[in-house]
Amino acid sequence: MPRYSLQKRSLVTGGAGFLGSHLCERLLAMGNEVICVDNFFTGTRRNIEHLIGHQRFEILRHDVTFPLYVEVDEIYNLACPASPIHYQFDPVQTTKTSVSGAINMLGLAKRLRIPILQASTSEVYGNPTVHPQTEDYWGNVNPIGPRSCYDEGKRCAETLFFDYHRQHQIRIKVARIFNTYGPRMHPRDGRVVSNFIMQALAGEDITLYGDGRQTRSFCFVDDLIDGLIKLMNSADEVTGPVNLGNPEEFSIAELADLVLQATGSKSRIVFAPSPVDDPRQRRPDVTLARTLLGWEPVVPLAIGLPRTIADFRSRFFA
Ligand code: NAD
Ligand code: UDP
Ligand code: UDP
């Protein structure tokens, strides 16, 4: 379709969520027009209230499981509940969002001949038997468990992306995102960073699941957004999948100590049972992102955690 404006028009699905809101903000700062599409299942207007009224920003309440006809130059497909509490609330809808949502957004990309980025996840590796995970590892995923709606939904979305690429020559960019944290995380998403911060600030017990020796790596949101934008703007032949995450690995018990130190809280640490299929170890190998995109995370937990705590304090304990 002919166009009058030279500004790039970006569509961000899931734009009112944690990552989506930071992405919308960054794209606006780059001078793009941004259409934020969200059904407000886990995202909130509050996450984007500072963008409302911006000349180049627009919000559409829409569920990506239904077709969407808009005219844009690129698509960032982030719509999907991301934390276990949220994606297990309505697991059928979670799979529909990943699968039907991907089909609709790929159909849109196909009609417009534009690039599309998929927010995939380290969960496609399941409970990995290879450590750290490189992109060529196929994963160890339970197809019928309580996490499957998310893991298998995201795996099927990746399949669709690669089939649209092979069959219809769509320019695809698949990012496998590892645990990311930062301001605007949902306070009750049950994730470890948000749980620990909320518990520490409220003076409640810190709930350590299992023995606390399981590991994760935590990427600060600003680093992750840099990675997504670099990936979208990479050469056409760069399709991914590309791991994006922080390779510095911490045990969950170490994280609990860091949160206690950074908040100055007197909360006690208590042990609780491990969730079903809880991966023991997770750390990205980001060699590919470093080589292809010149990207690597620069914000350590020691800097990102206090920034996140300050945000939680101002939102919930002011
Ligand atoms: P989030 O829950 O804050 O954001 C997801 C957004 O998608 C929300 O605003 C929600 O309302 C919206 N949404 C859900 N279903 C929708 C639908 N059917 N139609 C339209 N909008 C819908 O989660 P997040 O942490 O910002 O995650 C964003 C994306 O990144 C997700 O696709 C997630 O799977 C992926 N991801 C996130 C992480 C992480 O650590 N945060 C890790 C791996 C992958
Ligand atoms: N679609 C959409 N917006 C568009 C173009 C397509 O939402 O601008 C949806 C449409 O509903 C379709 C899906 O994307 O079901 C897949 O499109 P594709 O062209 O691959 O398939 P087809 O239309 O042939 O089923
Ligand atoms: N976890 C914990 N206490 C909590 C929340 C989570 O010990 O209050 C643990 C959880 O069992 C897992 C790790 O922290 O081993 C990361 O959990 P999260 O749900 O944040 O992310 P994911 O399992 O998807 O990586």
Domain regions of the chain by residue span: 9-183+220-247+283-298
Ligand closest in space to the Cα of 72: 2
Provide, for the chain, the percentages of residues in helix, strand and coil under a 3-state DSSP scheme, each rounded to the nearest 5.
40, 20, 45
Q: Ligand 2: distance of its center to the CA of 243 in Å?
A: 28
> Per the omega criterion (within 30 degrees of 0), is the bond before 132 cis?
yes
Tell me the three-class secondary structure of the chain, residue by residue. Answer: CCCCCCCCEEEEECCCCHHHHHHHHHHHHCCCEEEEEECCCCCCHHHHCCCCCCCCEEEEECCCCCCCCCCCCEEEECCCCCCHHHHCCCHHHHHHHHHHHHHHHHHHHHHHCCCEEEEEEHHHHECCCCCCECCCCCCECCCCCCCHHHHHHHHHHHHHHHHHHHHHCCCEEEEEECCEECCCCCCCCCCHHHHHHHHHHHCCCEEEECCCCCEEECEEHHHHHHHHHHHHCCCCCCCCCEEECCCCEEEHHHHHHHHHHHHCCCCCEEEECCCCCCCCCCCECCHHHHHHHCCCCCCCHHHHHHHHHHHHHHHHCC
Q: Ligand 2: distance of its center to the CA of 107 in Å?
A: 4
Regarding the beta carbon of 209 and ligand 3, being less than 6 Å apart is answered yes
Under DSSP, is residue 191 helix (H, G, I), strand (E, B) or coil? coil
The series of mean pLDDT values per 10 residues for the chain, 318 residues long, is: 76 98 98 98 96 97 98 98 95 98 98 98 92 94 95 98 98 98 95 97 97 95 98 98 96 97 97 87 94 97 97 94
Nearest CA to ligand 3 atom 16: 192
Q: Which two tokens stand for residue 280?
A: 């023991």
Q: Ligand 3: distance of its center to the CA of 159 in Å?
A: 27
CA dihedral 16, 244, 224, 305 (to 10 degrees): 110
Instruction: Give the active site residues.
Output: 150
The pLDDT value recorded for residue 2 is 56
Residue 168 alpha carbon, nearest atom of ligand 2: 20
The pLDDT value recorded for residue 93 is 98
Regarding the beta carbon of 187 and ligand 2, being less than 6 Å apart is answered no
pTM for the full predicted model: 0.96
Tokens 């998403």 -> residue: 189
Regarding the beta carbon of 110 and ligand 2, being less than 6 Å apart is answered yes
Ligand closest in space to the Cα of 177: 1
Residue 112 alpha carbon, nearest atom of ligand 2: 8
Regarding the beta carbon of 71 and ligand 2, being less than 6 Å apart is answered no
Tell me the fold of 9-183+220-247+283-298: Rossmann fold (3.40.50)
The pLDDT value recorded for residue 315 is 94
Does residue 231 contact residue 191 with C-beta atoms inside 8 Å? no
Nearest CA to ligand 2 atom 4: 108
Residue 122 alpha carbon, nearest atom of ligand 1: 43
Q: Ligand 2: distance of its center to the CA of 70 in Å?
A: 12
